[in-house]
Chains A and B, each alone.
Chain A
Amino acid sequence: MALLTTAFRRRGRWPWLVLILLSATLGFRPSQGPQPLEYRVKAAYLLNFTRYVEWPASAFDTPEAPLVLCTLGANPFGDELERTVAGRTSQGRSMVVRQVDGATTARGCHVVFLTYEEWRRRRDVLPALSGRSALIVGETPEFATDGGMISFVTVGQTIRFAVNLSATEAGGLRVSSRMLALAVTVYGHDVRGTP
């Protein structure tokens, strides 16, 4: 795990070239557009996360049971998330978007997204969610080392993500190495608390 970490750290030494290329071609620049663009990208990322994360079979009632994506607290996506998953499948399952308000209501969620504000406010929720086989995605770099599993990171003008493997493994989830290869930072069991 330390090896992986080292590899991704090295990669970060020449991000400026990538940024120029991406800014010229993609235009995923949060500064240039309103919020909805940022959360459209994040919605797409959430979808992509479901494709590279494996849940235990016990997380689903039936093999055909839909994959449930939840936003905890305030919903920054508006209806962007619903639009993103509408009519699409992940790992052969249809997807359902649900708005939840607390740990209790989050039961049954496979992905739980909470904004930065929600994380500050409801730090106590996270322990309640652990052990539920739910992928907990947050917004700040610290989130990944503070109870969360994946956190979005803005590198320059691009949205990237970091992964806490200790947390995902504790949640019974397995993250694909292909996705890990794209993460800005991967935290292991031994690097808790330090990026």
Chain B
Amino acid sequence: VTPFRDSPIRHKAALLIGVAGVIALVVTAASLILYDLATVRPRGRRDLQAQADLLRVNTAAALAFNDSTAARENLATLRARPEIGAAALYDRTGRLLAAYARNPASNRSIPARAPTRGVREDGAHIVLREPVKADGENVGDLVLWYTLPRLSTRLSQYGLVVALVGVALVTVSALLLWLLRVQLSRPLLTLADTARAITERRDYGVRAAKHGHDEVGQLTDAFNSMLAAIEARDAALQQSAAQLREAMQATKMCSWHLDVASGSMRWQGDEGRLFGPDSAPKGASLDAFIEVVHPADRPELERAIQRAAEAWAKVELDLRVVGPGERVRWLALQGRAAENGSAPDSGIAHKGPATRLVGLIQDVTDRHHLEEQLLQSQKMEAIGRLAGGIAHDFNNLLTVILGYASLALDAIPADSGAREDMREIENAGVQAATLTAQLLAYARRQIIAPRLVDLNTMVNNLRPMLTRLLGEHITVGIQPGAKLWPVKVDPGQFEQVVLNLSVNARDAMPTGGSLTFETSNTSYLGGEAHLAGLAPGDYVVLVARDTGQGIDQETRARLFEPFFTTKPQGEGTGLGLAMCYGIVTQAGGLITVDSAPGEGATFSIYLPSAANAPSEVPESSPAPGPAPRGGETILVVEDDPTLRALAIRVLESCGYAVVAAASPREALPLAAQHQVDLLLTDVVMPERSGRDLALELRDEVPGLRVLYMSGYTSDEVVARGVHEASADFLQKPFSPSTLARRVRETLNSAPRPGPTPTSAPT
């Protein structure tokens, strides 16, 4: 561990400055001493020499004149030079003339005779003898004893110097430390305080104060730029988090993070809203999540999690969560294993099982409802096609059965026992015809005659019949909405809808109850799951609410399927609600049911408002009466031989001249040969359609009347519109009297221009 590593900078600086100062002091002192030691003798010699040179000049005259007094006075000037210990002047003969001793006690040590010439060192002294000259001639000798200064004296002198330098160093150091504190420590501490405050308050908008442009200033700048970057990133992060949160709330999504080893499962987002307030997982664990999932979906969920963890597979499954009131919510769970920090790239072989799974969970209840609805309507469509096909063939057969039964009844004597048998056959045929008609209604293949209808009026008119139908133990209530918009429906068909709903309500209330009809206007804007398939717009709603036993969910799902019935065998056909469905759908509306076991059932029928449709004059219904007769020529085109034969027989019995053909190809020459007044033709035939035939013959025979007959309302026929269907169309099966009446009506009507063909018929 580095010493002083944790000390404040000023302590470190103080140490450094102190060490440097001490070193400087020691070096100074050592240098001084070394310098002194090295130079004390040469300096002494130079000093001595200079002094000698001066004295030699000054004492020359005294020596020359042998004036010892003057000589002594000259030497006495040496008293100003303490380092000169003694001096002596000798005359030319070497005898002592004058002497000087700094210390009088050492006077007698001066030799009487001059020592040898030159400079020599004698212990602590340097002795110099120099000749004294006057006018270039030796007049005597000067001898000087130079006392070298004692080392201790010199050292004490240097000690003073060193002490002064030391004091100066201490002063300068204190100044430096103060400067350091002001210039370095304080800004750094300010910076550190700012950083600490920011860490505590998480306020990245704070900026450190700058004290200068030095390194600390640069550090402050760098720190502030870092803060700015952090602030920007923090803002971006918060914005991104907020956007993610909003997006998750808008889509009812949550993200989830599962730690495989511990089973800890964390949620982010509004999981309370996602799961529902009471069915959110109780705790952040996988087990708590499994708890809230529908038991039937748990094994699949556990398998998916395991597969994702072990084989890095994707998690993708829809789960049910049962909320309060057994309300089922569908949640789509998606996710995959995550590597530390990033999602794995596909195709990379991963070693071992994953430790983390991440993903999203989303509420897809609405989507599930839509999918169910779509599936339902597709199913209904398929069944409708099947039923329509069957009904078409049945209609032909029933027409024949009913026709011949009718003819046979006329032929059998009134007292014959066979007459009753024949009537049974006819009754069964009528029932079968009713069934096929209902099937066609369900399949939306019925020829309809829609008119503007006020539902309030219609329901009110039905009231007496309903009262009779439902019996005394069921109360019928009607709550008509004010200013109800008209709707455009086939009134007869829609009466059947009301009657069917009533019968069903009656059967649901064996011990009595009430059935209430309500009408109201509503504007549908779209988006409601249970109204999926309905176009936005204005609707008239007819609600039929009973207080019966209610319908469970399973039954509700299949309620409108044909031949689906909960009634005992023989009591219901299973076509009532299917027909309702078909009729309402064909009218561009929607029928829904809301029910739970024990809570009664509410059927709601949405019909598009026809408030903006032009008003019509209601048609008068045909008056019943005996089969009308005539003598005109009728061309019958029908590929079914039995039906063709029946038609010929009925028409001939009414007095008409009948020519018949099995196909349009056969019919054309016949029409040319005979003066045909009316064409009675099937619509759908193998070679070409009855419509094409009619169009062609109208060109050749002006004023030709056409009556179509069909048990199968092809799209072509239906698409032609209501006028044609109501006037010139005969729905199979038909009774002989109906055939006779419609033929007469058609012949009596003014000839109408045929529809313009727009495409080649098939």
Contact = CB atoms under 8 A, between A and B. Distances in A.
A110 to B, nearest CB: 15
Interface string A120-159: 0000000000000000000000000000000000000000
B70 A182 contact: yes
Contact of B134 (A21, A26, A48, A160): A48
Nearest to A41: B66
B135 A91 contact: yes
B91 to A, nearest CB: 7
A160 B68 CA distance: 12
Interface stretch (B56-64, B386-394, B570-578): B56-64
Given A178-B61, A181-B61, A182-B61, A51 B68 contact: no
Given A52-B61, A176-B61, A26 B66 contact: yes
Given A51-B134, A88-B137, A90-B135, A45 B65 contact: yes
B95 A26 contact: yes
Contacts of A88: 137
A28 B68 CA distance: 12
A48 B65 contact: yes
A48 B68 contact: no
Contacts of B112: 25
A102 interface: no
Contacts of A18: 68-69, 72
B61 A179 contact: yes
B138 to A, nearest CB: 11
Interface in A48-102: 48, 51-52, 88-91
Interface residues of A, number: 22
B61 A21 contact: no
> Which of B64, B67, B137: most chain A CB closer than 10 A?
B64
Contacts of A91: 135
B67 to A, nearest CB: 5
Interface string A90-120: 1100000000000000000000000000000
A11 to B, nearest CB: 7
A22 interface: yes
B91 A15 contact: no
Given A178-B61, A179-B61, A28 B137 contact: no
> Which of B58, B67, B112: most chain A CB closer than 10 A?
B67
A109 B278 CA distance: 155
B135 A15 contact: no
A25 B96 contact: yes
A175 B489 CA distance: 169
Given A25-B95, A52-B61, A181 B70 contact: yes
A132 B135 CA distance: 24
B509 interface: no
Contacts of A48: 64-65, 134
A178 B68 contact: no
B97 interface: yes
A117 to B, nearest CB: 25
Given A178-B61, A179-B61, A51 B135 contact: yes
Nearest to B92: A44
Nearest to A27: B95
Contacts of A51: 64, 134-135
> Which of A22, A89, A179, A182: most chain B CB closer than 10 A?
A182
Interface in A22-37: 22, 25-26, 28
A89 B69 CA distance: 27
Contacts of B97: 25-26
Contacts of B70: 181-182
B91 A26 contact: yes
A88 B69 CA distance: 27
Interface residues of B, number: 22
Contacts of A45: 65
A17 to B, nearest CB: 8
B62 A182 contact: yes
A11 B95 contact: no
A189 B91 CA distance: 35
A176 B61 CA distance: 10
A21 to B, nearest CB: 6
Contacts of A160: 67
Contacts of B95: 25-26
A182 B96 contact: no
Nearest to A25: B95
A18 B134 CA distance: 23
Contact of B65 (A11, A15, A182): A182
Contacts of A89: 135-136
A21 B68 contact: yes
Contacts of B58: 178
Contacts of B69: 11, 15, 18
Contacts of A26: 66, 68, 91, 95, 97
Contacts of A11: 69, 73
A18 B71 CA distance: 10
A11 B71 CA distance: 13
A124 to B, nearest CB: 31
A61 B73 CA distance: 40
A160 B137 CA distance: 21
Nearest to B95: A25
A182 B63 CA distance: 10
A11 B65 CA distance: 16
A26 B67 CA distance: 11
Interface string B104-134: 0000000010000000000000000000001
Contacts of B135: 51, 89-91
A71 to B, nearest CB: 20
Contact of A28 (B61, B66, B134, B136): B66
B67 A182 contact: yes
Contacts of B136: 89
Nearest to A161: B65
Contacts of A15: 69
Nearest to B97: A25
Nearest to B65: A182
Nearest to B134: A51
B57 to A, nearest CB: 9
A179 B65 CA distance: 9
B98 to A, nearest CB: 8
A178 B60 contact: yes
A156 B112 CA distance: 24
Contacts of A21: 68
Nearest to B60: A178
Contacts of B68: 18, 21-22, 25-26
A38 to B, nearest CB: 13
Contacts of B73: 11
> Which of A15, A26, A160: most chain B CB closer than 10 A?
A26
Contacts of A25: 68, 95-97, 112
Interface string B129-173: 000001111000000000000000000000000000000000000
B413 to A, nearest CB: 205
> Which of B58, B69, B70, B73: most chain A CB closer than 10 A?
B69
5 contacts: A25-B96, A26-B91, A89-B135, A160-B67, A181-B70
The 7 closest A-B pairs by CB, nearest first: A178-B61, A51-B135, A18-B69, A48-B64, A182-B67, A182-B65, A182-B70
Given A18-B72, A25-B95, 14 more contacts: A11-B69, A15-B69, A18-B69, A21-B68, A22-B68, A25-B97, A26-B95, A28-B66, A48-B134, A51-B64, A88-B137, A182-B62, A182-B65, A182-B70
